Amino acid sequence: MTINMPIKVTPYQHQKNAFQFTCGNFGLTAPYRIISRGTALLIEMGLGKTLIAIAVAGALEQAGKIRRVLIVAPLSILGVWQEEFGKFADFDFALAVLTGSTAKKADTLRHMQGSPLQVAVVNYESAWRLEKDLLVWDADLVIADEGHKIKTHNIAASKTMHKLGAKARYKLLLTGTVITNKAIDVFSQYKFLNPEIFGQSFYVFRNRYFDMVGYGNHTPVLKKSMEQDLMRKLHSIAFRATKAECLDLPETTDIVRYVDLEPSAMRVYRDLVRDSYAELGKGGVTVTNILTRLLRLSQLTGGFIRDDDGSAPQRISTAKQAALEDIIEDVLQGGKKLVIIARFIPEIDAICRMLDKKDIKYSLVIGSVKNREEQVAAFQNDPEVQVFVGQIATAGLGITLTAASTMVFYSLDYSMSNFEQAKARIHRAGQRENCTYIYLTAKGTVDEKVLKALRSKADLARTLVDDYRGGSNPFATRGGEK
């Protein structure tokens, strides 16, 4: 027996297969016997894990199995769930992203009762602070998005997820793969998902599957004799999909990841929008004047602002970097490489400092780098060099980066040529996988206008001049200053 996916779009085959697999585990298909109350969707970024989870929630609700869904996700992607439920869910629901103080989040949760399906979305740190309230709310389905966030069994967030999982009727864990750098990370994620697989005790699990080696016997190494047993149990309740296996995908997929600037940064941004509009009225409205003012706004959405006196740029936001860190973790823990493209040197410097802090090896191509061929060769050929960081105007020409199939645009310039050339670095001869492009876009800012113009091949400068001459603020967007 197959169940129709209650979604508004036509799914790909791997999404259909993952949905049916999960419904089978949850006892929604013949012989109506629950195989596991938890399912892992080990699906690479860009393949639509969120859509599958939404369809599963809808199927469970329509079968009368659930009334409340709790989604726990990294802070940077809470908005993705709100957007995609609205876009894909073909069933009634009421969704709230829990924001504000702990007291406000708890109050929102208390009022989420009755029909239709109640969906609460919260980040991992807030979840453990709200543990008592969440346990009282008693979600029927708990979804752990980017489930590798709970790979460490004894941190607060993981302990909370274990308690929530123990009480929930159904559980989903979404990640590229549960095996990161260490197979031992499997335990915590499966303790949430289904403790019958690897047990309740971390130490019993460790002693069964690992030898402790190295100085002080602190390094776990998977026993060769136990590899097959561990993988068999892991995949017994997991559905795996990679881009290389999904033959019906389009050659390229675009993902717009909206980022909320911090309130303080948004206040600075709105002030700058007003000032920029006022300055335009004092002089001639030309393409140069428009783009000069747009430049400062674009710098700000990347986290930096420079005073007119030429002093060093001041950092006022880390919102995009936080979102990028989650993407890096998701891609790299799946054993893949990643290309990051940005426009401004201060944000590139910040990205590199973050990678250094995380001990992630990377190649770098910006205007001041002389050994570009060596940097590219290292990324293409050295498995330890996992990330490529490039400036859009410099790294968009004449280089091949097909070791990666995912590219993040941290920021964009206004050149259609640079945009298309940068995208072609991974989507070219030698690429064996379909390509995914992720655009980090500060919500309610000029980022939205710039991306829309580039994707529709519109003349951005002319569009902004026309906006001004039509009586509107060319820098204003939905959610921004009007």
Instruction: Mark which of 245, 277, 308 sits at the end of a domain.
Output: 245
Is the same domain home to 93 and 233? Answer: yes
Once rounded to an integer, what is the mean pLDDT over residues 1-7? 91
Asked whether residue 467 is domain-assigned, the answer is: no
pLDDT band at 288 (very low <50, low <70, confident <90, very high): confident
| Neighbour tally for 100: CB within 10 Å | 11
Tens digit of each residue's pLDDT (9 = 90 or more) over 156-214: 999 999 999 999 999 999 998 777 557 899 999 999 999 999 999 999 999 999 999 98
Is the same domain home to 230 and 375? Answer: no
Instruction: Mark which of 185, 210, 245 sits at the end of a domain.
Output: 245
Instruction: Give the chain's domain count.
Output: 2
Asked whether residue 441 is domain-assigned, the answer is: yes
Is the same domain home to 233 and 334? Answer: no
Is the same domain home to 144 and 27? Answer: yes
What is the model's pLDDT at position 482? 41
Domain that holds residue 135: 13-245
Which phi and psi (to 5°) does residue 120 adopt?
Answer: -110, 135
Is the same domain home to 210 and 328? Answer: no
Rounded CA-CA distance 33/24 in Å is 8
238 or 431, greater pLDDT: 238
pLDDT of 473 > 90? The answer is: no
Instruction: Name the pTM for this structure.
Output: 0.87
Is the same domain home to 239 and 94? Answer: yes
pLDDT band at 282 (very low <50, low <70, confident <90, very high): confident
Tens digit of each residue's pLDDT (9 = 90 or more) over 213-239: 988 888 899 999 999 999 999 999 999
pLDDT of 8 > 80? The answer is: yes
Is the same domain home to 83 and 206? Answer: yes
Cβ-Cβ contacts under 8 Å for 224 (sequence gap 6 or more): none
Cβ-Cβ contacts under 8 Å for 248 (sequence gap 6 or more): 12, 13, 14
Q: What is the Cβ-side half-sphere exposure of residue 181, based on CA atoms within 13 angstroms?
A: 6
Cβ-Cβ contacts under 8 Å for 338 (sequence gap 6 or more): 327, 328, 331, 332, 386, 387, 388, 404, 406, 407, 408
Asked whether residue 220 is domain-assigned, the answer is: yes
Is the same domain home to 223 and 323? Answer: no
Tens digit of each residue's pLDDT (9 = 90 or more) over 292-336: 889 999 999 999 998 766 678 899 999 999 999 999 998 988 889
Asked whether residue 463 is domain-assigned, the answer is: no
Rounded CA-CA distance 34/202 in Å is 26
pLDDT band at 459 (very low <50, low <70, confident <90, very high): confident
What is the model's pLDDT at position 27? 95
Here the tokens at position 414 are 């206004």
Tens digit of each residue's pLDDT (9 = 90 or more) over 59-90: 999 999 999 999 999 998 899 999 999 999 99
Asked whether residue 326 is domain-assigned, the answer is: yes
Rounded CA-CA distance 55/318 in Å is 33
What is the model's pLDDT at position 18? 97
Is the same domain home to 99 and 225? Answer: yes
CATH number for the domain that contains residue 402: 3.40.50.300
Asked whether residue 478 is domain-assigned, the answer is: no
Asked whether residue 8 is domain-assigned, the answer is: no
Is the same domain home to 197 and 338? Answer: no
Is the same domain home to 206 and 64? Answer: yes
Instruction: Mark which of 197, 218, 245 sits at the end of a domain.
Output: 245
Is the same domain home to 234 and 334? Answer: no
pLDDT of 481 > 50? The answer is: no
CATH number for the domain that contains residue 176: 3.40.50.10810
Asked whether residue 395 is domain-assigned, the answer is: yes
